[in-house]
Amino acid sequence: MMMEQWMWWVLTLFLIVFTFYWADIRLLWASLATAVVGGLTWHSPDLPIIYQLMVLVLVTVGGVLITETFLKRRGEDGEDVEEGLPTEDDYIGKVFTLEHPIVNGSGVIDFKGLKLRIRGADAEAGAQVKIIAVDGIDRTLCLVERVRSSKE
């Protein structure tokens, strides 16, 4: 079976969609590899399938190895840390001090570089709130309740 140029482009589009859906850099390398092979088959339509697959594997594996080698993060104890986007479990139950007030039931907090929209009772800047649930399609809408201090 001969893989034609358009087949590689369709595979590239599918991989790009999955790359954004799962936010995985390895899939980005695979989509780049399919785009390269699509370009090669456009330039040379009779390129044997074995060469197409070799280029696909070399670009994908090479890119993943380079990425894993140079983009590894190290923790305080020297161990490799897998850094990704925070999940619900990372911020449910956490207490935050508001930098900006909650007005008309909505506000924003910053968590590890991610802006989280919050919804709860109005509160002034400096008040402490606790995230009790996560809502919304993009999972960045958090429901909060105000933490009562011992002074109140």
Nearest to 122 by CA among 98, 91, 139, 96: 98
Q: How confident is the model at residue 8, as a pLDDT?
A: 94
Task: Determine the pLDDT at residue 116.
Answer: 83
List every span in the chain annotated with CATH 2.40.50.140: 88-146
Reading the chain (152 residues) residue by residue, the pLDDT tens digits are 678 889 999 999 999 999 888 888 888 999 999 999 999 999 999 999 999 999 999 999 999 999 888 876 554 555 555 556 667 777 788 898 888 899 998 898 887 777 888 899 999 988 999 988 887 666 668 888 888 765 55
**How far, in Å, CA of 7 to CA of 40, rounded?**
12
Report pLDDT for 4.
87
What does DSSP say about strands 114-119 and 141-146: parallel, antiparallel, or unpaired? parallel
Query: Rounded distance, CA 121 to CA 104, Å?
Result: 8
Pairing status of strand 95-97 against strand 80-81: unpaired
pLDDT reported for residue 143: 82
How far is it, in rounded angstroms, from Cα 87 to Cα 138? 11
CB 118 within 8 A of CB 144: yes
**Which CATH code for domain 88-146?**
2.40.50.140
